[in-house]
Structure 1
Amino acid sequence: MIDLAVVDLSRLQFALTALYHFLFVPLTLGLSFMLVIMESIYVMTRRPIWRTITRFWGVLFGINFALGVATGITMEFQFGMNWSYYSHYVGDIFGAPLAIEGLMAFFLEATFVGLMFFGWDKLKPVTHLFVTFLVALGTNLSALWILIANGWMQNPVGSTFNPDTMRMEVTDFMAVLFNPVAQAKFVHTVSAGYVIAAAFVLAVSAFYLLRRRHVGFAKRSMTVAAAFGLAASLSVVVLGDESGYALTDNQKMKLAAIEGMWHTHEAPAGLSIVGLPDMAARETRYEIQIPWALGLIATRSLDGTVDGIFELVAISEDRIERGVLAYDALERIKADTTDVQARADFEVHRNDLGYGLMLRRYVEDPRDATPEQIMITAWDTVPNVPLMFWTFRIMAGIGFLMIALFATAFILCTLRKHETRWFLWVALLAMPLPWIAAELGWIVAEVGRQPWAVEGVLPTFLGASSLSVPQLWTTIIGFTLFYGALAVVEVGLILHTIKKGPFHEHSLFGDPDPQPAEAAREPAPTVA
């Protein structure tokens, strides 16, 4: 039988490392393109202050980039060490985007990041700008291929199970590449990274203005952050809506859990603003809804229905029963590879094999499962509804707060009221909020997929390696201590760089910044 303690600890370890890694990735994604914008202004105007601005934020980008790479490598190893059967079962599909990410995107950014750091006095301004753009392109391509891999886990298109090899195999790589879930996740995640970077630049600029230091630098940085952040925060909401629409066809149970919808409502369904989902009573109490809103968002129509949890559990029960038939046919194929009838039976029920495998949590052979075990297993397809319900709403609420924050910043910058003190304090205190929203978004995406490692294909508990509980606790403690030390280093370096300010010599870029006095004497800024 499966040791569920090993599975839970393996999940905990991956969750901790993924959440930690995702602290760095979004900032890297957003800062890279903000550097492109800042350096473009420098190339067009040739004003030294913009060169200084680009180099300063580039130093902070470099610190964050290094930590992101270091923590990302650890996650790659976990697939083989902690999730070996998962890697064996779906590695032919899941491994391809990761390999492309390493060969194309990572090498692209790794090659040009050195030129960006050390090429300021060796490359022409336009050439250096192109290098910076390639670094930004590389970081975003890395995210694209990672999210294609993750999107396949959420919606496993372009693949099929081969009963001869007992593995999932690619049948249509273009379907994997253009998976609607992956594409929606990519644009939504990247936009969230842009919001994080804009909030970071806005907060540091606000800090300088509150301290009345580097005023010209801070006002220009704040202006860029306000415009970039407003566009990004609006994109997050719009693209988040598109991501939710993708759930309607591909992850109905996740959508029902997010909304705490236990029964299918008459179309168009209302959107719950607040409520208290109760897993024991299997109902959501004290709901306050916006009529029709969920139906319009999820189905883009007034007559489309959004399935409730009870109805989806009934569908899962049927699929589990068909999955038992697929499992039986597969066992017959293993016993006799020439059994034509067994192969024919398997083809009829192959899409439900994963549901049959879920019974392995309760019984060694799914064919021996009782009706009660099938019913329990069907309810196992329901994720943690209260967790999904509230994490999504907190995430969405922060998203709308970010729109308000950057809209206010944009108006103040347009009116040349950069030093409005109440807003500077708001901008400084609001800096952690988009990070919190991004982490909650990851929880919604990954917890909402449970109990599947790959939706409808491989249950999570079957994907873990044969490790022991002490081994896992040792690595969890080791990673926690190591990552804690890295966090101290990261925060220390960033605070040290901010304390020194933009006109200090930046060793990451080689030579000292030329003409710092001229840059410091710049008059009150316009956008350029």
Structure 2
Amino acid sequence: MIDHAVVDLSRLQFALTALYHFLFVPLTLGLVFMLAIMESVYVMTGREIWKRMTQFWGILFGINFAMGVATGVTLEFQFGTNWAYYSHYVGDVFGTPLAIEGLMAFFLEATFVGLFFFGWDRLSRVAHLVVTWLLAFGTSMSALWILAANAWMQNPVGAEFNIDTMRMEVTSFSEVFFNPVAQSKFVHTVSAGYVLGAMFVLSISAWYLLRGRNIDFAKRSMTVAASFGLAAALSVVVLGDESGYTITEHQKMKLAAIEAMWETEPPPAAFTLFGLPDVAERKTHYAVHIPWVMGLIGTRSLDGVLPGISQLVEETADKIENGRIAYAAMQKLRTNRDDAEARAQFEAHKDDLGYALLLSRLNIDPLTATPEDVSRAADSTIPNVPVLFWSFRIMVACGFYFIALFAYSFWLASKRQLDRKRWYLRVALWSLPLPWVAAELGWIVAEHGRQPWAIEGILPTALGVSSVSASQVWTSLIGFVIFYTTLAVVDAFLMVRYARKGPDGLGMWPNQSAENPG
């Protein structure tokens, strides 16, 4: 019997730690490339202000990097403490990219982050610049392997279930690595990190200009942030479109939930700009549609069909019935490996075995399930539609806002008027939290939208938990909350302290705008 209290608490703990860790990851991805760009300008021009810019923003990067490492390590522990059966069942596949990330990308980052901070007086300009770019490359490689593992959970390719070992095993590592979901997820996530890094620099620099401090320093920082941020924001939207297409291919229920598309629409489907999803009645009230848009995004055609939630539930019920045949055959093979008829039945229906396990998730024996039980299990594959619907729309709205803000910033920078409009500086400052909001909402759409699956179509989340009690999970959850709250206080204190000090307060640059910046 599945203890759903343990499942819910384990999910809550992993969600909280993952969302908290993801506060640091995108800033690391974006800020390190800002450092590489600034230092490249320093090496090419020899102007001291660019070196000081790299060093100052590097301090804030270092604080964020340390927090990201601390929260990431504890996050991975949970695969053993809270998700032991998940680790056993898919460890051969999931563990490989995580191991590569640890051995290659993480150590690459750790090595070059030390050289970045302590190599200014020990390395030549060009050598230190190479270190900075390798550090930027290492952070992206780290994200690449993590996202490859996560993408396999969304689209499990390159692996199959081995009935003799009762585990998922790799059949093609290249398929795992070149998973189309991994490719779109990687470029979209990394671009979002670039936006966050650019907004971080833009907002803090705007704060300096509002107070008349570090004017030359801040204007140059904002110019880099505006250029880099505009390119990144445009990339996020374009690459987000590609992510929508891959979801259509591999996670139709997630896409239908994002759109609150209860019934299949004639192609090309419209995009719902606004609406109030009603789960009980399975309809969306006050819906405002934009014709054709969703069909074009989801199918790249005018005649491609996007199935609605009701149709997908019916298809899931059929898969559950097929999965029950595979499940029954598997039980026979566990007692008699030589049963040729059972093996043939299993091979014919094994692709739907995971759907039969949805019944076990509801504490129903797949062998004795009734049609009503199958219907309940099929309905359980509908994720939280209102959460996905609004999370996606707020995220998209933020994305278009970033394009507008960075485009205007770029225009002001080209006119050398970044410090002329105080209303703009206030808008730039108060926009600082928005990239984090968008990033967290994107993670919610990706992960919460996959429920009830830990591995899409393979392993329901409820079956992946460890054999622990609810009290034990409560203990670790409280411990994580205390630990992460402490880290949050320390991180906020250090970030605010060094940002307020600024390069002038740290002795990196004088506070007179009339000084020669060269």
Cα distance in 1 between the residues matched to 2:33 and 2:10 = 35
Cα distance in 1 between the residues matched to 2:103 and 2:513 = 42
| TM-fit CA distance, 1:502 | 1.1
| TM-fit CA distance, 1:522 | 4.1
| TM-fit CA distance, 1:180 | 0.5
> More deviation in 360-369 or 384-393?
360-369
The one-letter amino acid paired with 1:122 is R
Q: Is the 8 A contact 2:319 2:355 kept in 1?
A: yes
| TM-fit CA distance, 1:284 | 1.1
Tell me the alpha carbon deviations over residues 105-132 of structure 1, each in whole angstroms, 9 at most, x when there is no partner. 0011111110000000110000000000
Tell me the alpha carbon deviations over residues 229-250 of structure 1, each in whole angstroms, 9 at most, x when there is no partner. 0000000000000000001110
Mapped pair 1:442 → 2:433: no
**Match for residue 265 of structure 2?**
265
| TM-fit CA distance, 1:80 | 0.7
> More deviation in 472-481 or 55-64?
472-481
**Match for residue 299 of structure 1?**
299
Cα distance in 2 between the residues matched to 1:517 and 1:433 = 31
**Match for residue 430 of structure 2?**
429
| TM-fit CA distance, 1:479 | 1.0
Q: Is the 8 A contact 2:213 2:511 kept in 1?
A: no
What aligned pairs does 1:310-389 form with structure 2 within 5 A after superposition? 310-389=310-389
**Match for residue 238 of structure 1?**
238
Cα distance in 2 between the residues matched to 1:162 and 1:283 = 41
Cα distance in 1 between the residues matched to 2:137 and 2:67 = 19
Cα distance in 2 between the residues matched to 1:51 and 1:361 = 57
> More deviation in 252-261 or 473-482?
473-482
- How does the TM-score come out when normalised to structure 2? 0.98
What aligned pairs does 1:207-286 form with structure 2 within 5 A after superposition? 207-286=207-286
CA gap 1:313/1:147 in 2 versus in 1, 3 angstroms: same
Mapped pair 1:14 → 2:11: no
Cα distance in 2 between the residues matched to 1:91 and 1:200 = 37
| TM-fit CA distance, 1:285 | 1.4
Cα distance in 1 between the residues matched to 2:484 and 2:53 = 30
Q: Is the 8 A contact 2:105 2:138 kept in 1?
A: yes
The one-letter amino acid paired with 2:284 is T
Q: Is the 8 A contact 1:40 1:129 kept in 2?
A: yes
Q: Is the 8 A contact 2:364 2:373 kept in 1?
A: no
Q: Is the 8 A contact 2:277 2:385 kept in 1?
A: yes
Mapped pair 1:102 → 2:102: yes
Tell me the alpha carbon deviations over residues 316-357 of structure 1, each in whole angstroms, 9 at most, x when there is no partner. 000000010000010011011111111111000000000001
Tell me the alpha carbon deviations over residues 98-157 of structure 1, each in whole angstroms, 9 at most, x when there is no partner. 000001100111111100000001100000000000111001100000000000000000
| Structure 1 consecutive aligned stretches of length 4 or more whose deviation exceeds 2 Å | 361-365, 516-525
The one-letter amino acid paired with 2:457 is G
Cα distance in 1 between the residues matched to 2:106 and 2:365 = 44
Cα distance in 2 between the residues matched to 1:151 and 1:174 = 13
The one-letter amino acid paired with 2:280 is A
| TM-fit CA distance, 1:361 | 2.5
The one-letter amino acid paired with 1:65 is F
Q: Is the 8 A contact 2:214 2:511 kept in 1?
A: no
Structure 2: which 5+ runs fail to align?
Answer: none
Tell me the alpha carbon deviations over residues 390-441 of structure 1, each in whole angstroms, 9 at most, x when there is no partner. 1100010011011111011111111111111010000000100010000000
**Match for residue 509 of structure 1?**
none
Mapped pair 1:44 → 2:44: yes
**Match for residue 203 of structure 1?**
203
Equivalent residue of 1:425, what SS? helix
Mapped pair 1:463 → 2:475: no
Cα distance in 1 between the residues matched to 2:156 and 2:413 = 46
The one-letter amino acid paired with 2:208 is Y
| TM-fit CA distance, 1:519 | 9.3
Q: Percent identity?
A: 65
**Match for residue 73 of structure 2?**
73
Cα distance in 1 between the residues matched to 2:512 and 2:209 = 17
CA gap 1:338/1:522 in 2 versus in 1, 3 angstroms: farther
Cα distance in 1 between the residues matched to 2:366 and 2:280 = 27
The one-letter amino acid paired with 1:155 is N
Cα distance in 2 between the residues matched to 1:122 and 1:475 = 44
**Match for residue 502 of structure 2?**
501
**Match for residue 64 of structure 1?**
64
**Match for residue 3 of structure 1?**
3
Q: Is the 8 A contact 1:195 1:233 kept in 2?
A: yes
The one-letter amino acid paired with 2:447 is E
| TM-fit CA distance, 1:202 | 0.4
**Match for residue 475 of structure 2?**
474
The one-letter amino acid paired with 2:186 is F
What aligned pairs does 1:169-208 form with structure 2 within 5 A after superposition? 169-208=169-208
Cα distance in 2 between the residues matched to 1:440 and 1:522 = 44
Q: Is the 8 A contact 1:49 1:519 kept in 2?
A: no
CA gap 1:135/1:452 in 2 versus in 1, 3 angstroms: same
Tell me the alpha carbon deviations over residues 357-384 of structure 1, each in whole angstroms, 9 at most, x when there is no partner. 1101334521111110100100111101
Q: Is the 8 A contact 2:361 2:460 kept in 1?
A: no
Cα distance in 2 between the residues matched to 1:291 and 1:364 = 43
Q: Is the 8 A contact 2:203 2:432 kept in 1?
A: yes
CA gap 1:104/1:6 in 2 versus in 1, 3 angstroms: same
Mapped pair 1:410 → 2:410: yes
The one-letter amino acid paired with 2:465 is A
Q: Is the 8 A contact 2:360 2:366 kept in 1?
A: yes
> More deviation in 423-432 or 494-503?
494-503
**Match for residue 158 of structure 1?**
158
Root-mean-square deviation (Å)? 1.3
Cα distance in 1 between the residues matched to 2:510 and 2:313 = 69
Q: Is the 8 A contact 2:42 2:50 kept in 1?
A: yes
Cα distance in 2 between the residues matched to 1:371 and 1:498 = 62
Tell me the alpha carbon deviations over residues 459-482 of structure 1, each in whole angstroms, 9 at most, x when there is no partner. 000000111111111211111111
Count of matched residue positions in the alignment of Structure 1 and Structure 2: 517
Structure 1: which 5+ runs fail to align?
Answer: 506-511
Cα distance in 2 between the residues matched to 1:520 and 1:53 = 15
The one-letter amino acid paired with 1:495 is V
